[in-house]
Amino acid sequence: MSKLGALQAGSRHDLHIDISPDAPDESEVDRGEGAFGYAHSYESSSRYDGPGLRVVLFLSGCLLRCTYCHNPDTWHLKAGTYVSADHVLSRLADFAPALRSLDGGLTISGGEPMVQLAFTGRILAGAKQLGLHTAIETSGFLGDRADDKFLANLDLVLLDIKSGDPETYRRVTGRELAPTLRFAERLAAMNKPVWVRFTLVPGHTDDPANVASIAKFVGPMTNVEWVEIQPFHQLGAFKWKSMNLEYQHENTQAPTPELIKRVTGQFQEAGCHVR
Ligand code: SF4
């Protein structure tokens, strides 16, 4: 049993390693009640991860292995602090009046929030009781795990579609694309608001056909409010080095304004609102 700790204020750019060495493997299905879980850190004033001012809670655990991941220290549950959902919600309650007055709320990111589905669900339900807007940022890979009760406590899904071509998706994430598309279709069928996020990595995800297949898929979905193009950056490179992981992107450059313009145009031509 991991030792119960306190939620760490900080940043997604802080490096966390081996905080709970006896945590279970993240590939184990989360069948618990969600009273406890593993959290990397939280930020209290993001204006980037959903509408208004957000508290962003970063949970540990992810089954993907994106080659450009800027938070590889969130991959394993053992990198997170073992905390109770009640503790998380009591910290959140301190921020709730400000979040409500600034039309914001809670975004749970990671890692992948649906690795610890019950824990995430319990926090989302508590956030709704505090009167907060709720969101998760997810790859959608574990979308089949999300039951209707989980989705009912979600106001917005920030859905990372990392590639539209299955082969490219497999190459950059190590996993299959199909579950993400299936989850996106389910969210569209229930008219759940979605912001699609696409990380533009020159030489890896920028192929016009790859972008076009995402745009063609997302364009007709009226529940998709925004497509956000996220330019590749090197802010997470130091984590790969600190963790002795093989980093493929030493020489990958940030996308040029011309490339961003081309990709923006591809999404807009498909009928997407882009930012
Ligand atoms: S899904 Fe997110 S946290 Fe997981 S490997 Fe990819 S970028 Fe990293």
Q: What would the pLDDT profile of 185-225 be if each residue is shown by its tens digit? A: 999 999 999 999 999 999 999 999 999 999 999 999 999 99
Written as six digits, the tokens of 250 are: 């030493």
Residue 31 confidence (pLDDT)? 66
110-144 tens-digit pLDDT: 999 999 999 999 999 999 999 999 999 999 999 99
Tokens 């063609």 appear where? Answer: 216
CA distance 75 to 55: 21
49-72 tens-digit pLDDT: 999 999 999 999 999 999 999 999
Kindly report the number of other CB atoms within 10 A of residue 6's CB atom: 11
Band of pLDDT at residue 30, cut at 50, 70 and 90: low
CA distance 170 to 79: 25
CA distance 3 to 20: 7
* Span from the CA of 221 to the centroid of ligand 1 (angstroms): 24
CA distance 233 to 231: 6
Q: What is the mean pLDDT of the chain?
A: 95
Is residue 166 within 8 Å of 177, Cβ to Cβ? yes
213-267 tens-digit pLDDT: 999 999 999 999 999 999 999 999 999 999 999 999 999 999 999 999 999 999 9
Return all residues near 165 (Cβ < 8 A) that are at least 6 apart: 177, 207, 209, 210, 213
- Cα angle value 120/197/176 (rounded, 5°): 75
Q: Is the pTM of this model over 0.75?
A: yes
Q: Residue 1 pLDDT more than 80? A: no
Identify the residue whose C-alpha is closest to ligand 1 atom 7: 69
75-98 tens-digit pLDDT: 999 989 999 999 999 999 999 999
Kindly report the number of other CB atoms within 10 A of residue 268's CB atom: 14
What is the number of the ligand 1 atom nearest to the C-alpha of 110? Answer: 3
Written as six digits, the tokens of 140 are: 């959608």
> What lines the ligand 1 site, CB under 6 Å?
62, 64-66, 69, 71, 74, 110-112, 139
